[in-house]
């Protein structure tokens, strides 16, 4: 999924940022109750969670980018 994420990050550059978090090392994973990887969590510009899903589904990932960017 890394190429898909990289491509969408470039496509939505300046609109949606991407932060990579190691679920084994970062306590942030506990905040979002991460049970599997990869898991994607979209935050809006206020930091509120707007979507979360696990698994490598490029279409869901693209939809998340679209929703997060407000397009």
List contacts with other proteins (CB under 8 A). Answer: 5, 9, 14-24, 28-29, 31-32, 34, 37-50, 64-65, 68-70
Q: How far is the CB of 46 from other proteins (least distance, A)?
A: 6
Q: How far is the CB of 30 from other proteins (least distance, A)?
A: 11
d(C-alpha 30, C-alpha 47), whole Å? 16
Among 13, 17, 59, 21, smallest CA distance to 42 is for 17
The alpha carbon of 47 is separated from its chain's Cα centroid by a whole number of angstroms, namely 12
Nearer to other proteins, 14 or 59 (CB): 14
């Amino acid at each position: 999924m890394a190429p898909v994420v990289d491509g969408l990050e470039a496509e939505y550059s300046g609109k949606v940022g991407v932060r990579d978090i190691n679920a084994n090392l970062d306590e942030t994973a506990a905040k979002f109750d991460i049970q599997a990887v990869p898991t994607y969590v979209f935050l809006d510009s206020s930091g509120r969670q707007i979507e979360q899903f696990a698994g490598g589904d490029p279409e869901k990932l693209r939809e998340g980018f679209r929703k997060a960017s407000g397009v």
